[in-house]
Amino acid sequence: MFDPLLEELNSSIKTRGGKPLSIPEGLNENISSQGNVIRSWLWTLPGFRRWRVTRLDAGEKLQVLNSVAYPEFNNEMPLMGIDLLWFGSRSKLVAVLDFQPLKQDQLYFQRYYQGLKDLKLRFPELSNEEVMRSFDPEQYFSPWLLFCRGGSEEVQKVLPVAFNQFLSAYFQLFDDKNHEASILSPDEVKRLQIDYDVYSSERDPAHGLFTSYFGKKWSNRFVREFLFPESN
Contact residues: ligand BLA, CB under 6 A: 54, 56, 64, 66, 68, 81-83, 85, 94, 96, 98, 132-135, 147, 204-206, 209, 227
**Cβ 32 to ligand BLA shortest distance, Å:** 13
**Cβ 180 to ligand BLA shortest distance, Å:** 26
Element (H, E) at 162: helix 159-176
Query: Strand pairing partners for 71?
Result: 48
Element (H, E) at 82: strand 79-87
Query: Strand pairing partners for 116?
Result: none
For ligand BLA, the closer of residues 73 and 170 by Cβ is: 170
Q: Are 121 and 165 in contact (CB under 8 A)?
A: no
Helix/strand/coil percent split, the chain, to 5 = 45, 25, 30
Which residues are CB-neighbours of 168 under 8 A, at least 6 positions away?
none
Closest CA to 115 of 97, 102, 138: 97
For ligand BLA, the closer of residues 194 and 209 by Cβ is: 209
**Cβ 181 to ligand BLA shortest distance, Å:** 28
Amino acid identity at 77: M
Question: How many angstroms separate the first and last alpha carbons of the chain?
Answer: 33
Query: C-alpha distances in angstroms, 52 versus 2, 13, 87, 104, 226?
Result: 16, 10, 22, 24, 8
For ligand BLA, the closer of residues 97 and 189 by Cβ is: 97
For ligand BLA, the closer of residues 3 and 185 by Cβ is: 3
**Cβ 114 to ligand BLA shortest distance, Å:** 19
For ligand BLA, the closer of residues 73 and 222 by Cβ is: 222
**Cβ 91 to ligand BLA shortest distance, Å:** 14
For ligand BLA, the closer of residues 185 and 198 by Cβ is: 198
**Cβ 179 to ligand BLA shortest distance, Å:** 28
